Amino acid sequence: AHLTFLFFAFCANIIVTSMLLLGGAATVEALTGVDRRLASFLIPWGVILYTAAGGLKATFIASYIHTTIIFAVLITMILVVYIKVYSSDQIFNFLSHTVAYTDEECAAIYSDPDTGISFYDSSTYACGPVPGNFEGSYLTMLSSDGLMFGIINIVGNFGTVFVDQSYWQSAIAARPSSAAKGYLLGGLCWFAIPFSLATSLGLTSTALMLPITASEAGSGLVPPAVATELLGEAG
């Protein structure tokens, strides 16, 4: 049993670390031009140095700082998207128009302005009806792909909680009376991050029909792309 747990723990940590590194490296490459292989090598060193210097205390302090920054960015982008630049009604209408385009109209939208040659691919860019969604809409909870993602995410994250050592070290370090409350509050705080990210930056990228490919979206480049579109260089 110990060896089985150890094997899955190593697998989980390798996968989670690889996902975080690749996503961060892709974002750094898109924003600065630094090669993602070099970024993948340099990013862990910052974590290694402060963890080696401060131990578990340093990881807790870093988590608090990172969470504060994330929430500050999320609140800023929600205010920019839904109050300063657009409104919820406008985003709703934009999304309705996005799925109403035909393939010919999508090809015209995603084309080179100089040559007129289209680079549109229905499997790459968000334009036209969404296969598997109710009435092809983004504004629905009835989605076969969404259901599949939800099942995979629940199963995957359920397993991660048991074998990812970052959870265990926090549980062991906390007082038993505080552990349950801390995990419940942490779960609520974490839920706000993907929910706010998806309903602000995620929907806006589709509503504005930014030329973001499926692979770029999978690499986590939607937030910086939308922030740059709305705020310019500051984003």
Q: What is the pLDDT of residues 2-56, one digit of tens each?
A: 888 888 888 888 888 888 888 888 888 877 888 888 888 888 888 888 888 888 7
Residues of the chain with pLDDT under 70: 235
pTM: 0.73
Three-state DSSP at 133 gives strand
Residue-level pLDDT at 200? 85
Residue of 227, 235, 233, 234 whose CA lies nearest to 208: 227
Distances (CA, A) of 147 to 140, 156, 161: 12, 14, 21
